[in-house]
Amino acid sequence: AKLLTASLARAESASEVLRLYAEHGSAFNEIHLATCWSRLASTSQKEGRALSAGDLAPLRQQTVVLADTLGPRAIASTAHALARLGHFSGAGTSDGDEWDALWRALGVAAALRVTEEGGAAFGPQGLSLTAWAFAKASAGQAPPQALLDAIAVAAIPRLHEFKAQELANLAWAYGKSEHAAPALLDAIAAAASPRLDDFKSQELANLAWAYGK
């Protein structure tokens, strides 16, 4: 299992990742799935290549089936990769229903994990990436309300652990989704204010945009 994970992580092209999936996908566990999606996002962006629905259909279907078995880190990594790939819920494409099914399955699994296991299981990066991914992928639809409520509750007591980018991404996600979370946004502002020198210009812009919504 570790060798397969290492092979996926070292893959230098989307074609190589897809080949590894075709050869070993039936034996994938949650780490393999998350690593596969992440490498597909990274390699396809590097290549400037848009992956077709046909390329991704078997992996997408397998991820739907296994979504409720994924742990917090795998959920965060998979959702982040899908958002980077541009395969959004409600995107209006010929395979839009299939992507909707995947995002719904991940959203249900994520909300359950955050609620049951709390913020510690996801960590600051996992919470911010998950919120960012679902906000980005909503494509004009409301992201899962239960998930955003759960992330807000889990994040507030841990905001002192968040890096500047994670705070900015979290604030951006709630601004983008237009999901009311005044307690969270107040807490992010309080956490960010003493650390403004830690924020890059784009991160400050994201914060300002979120609070201007």
pLDDT tens digit at each of 213 positions of the chain:
889 999 999 999 999 999 999 999 999 999 999 999 999 999 999 999 888 878 899 999 999 999 999 999 999 999 999 999 987 655 445 556 788 889 999 999 999 999 999 889 999 999 999 999 999 987 656 678 999 999 999 999 999 999 999 999 999 999 998 888 999 999 999 999 999 999 999 999 999 999 887
Q: What is the rounded distance in angstroms from the CA atom of residue 73 to the CA atom of residue 79?
A: 10
State the pLDDT at residue 139: 62
Grouping H, G, I as helix, E, B as strand and the rest as coil, residue 189 is: helix
Nearest CA-CA partner of 124 in 60, 209, 191, 46? 191
pTM of the predicted structure, to 2 decimals: 0.91
At residue 64, what are phi and psi to the nearest 5 degrees? Answer: -60, -45
Take residue 2 and report the two structure tokens written for it: 């570790």
At residue 74, what are phi and psi to the nearest 5 degrees? Answer: -65, -40
Take residue 100 and report the two structure tokens written for it: 């909707």
Contact assessment for residue 174 and residue 185, using Cβ atoms and an 8 Å cutoff: yes
Take residue 210 and report the two structure tokens written for it: 């979120």
Nearest CA-CA partner of 184 in 130, 138, 103, 128? 128
State the pLDDT at residue 212: 85
Q: What is the rounded distance in angstroms from the CA atom of residue 188 to the CA atom of residue 159?
A: 7
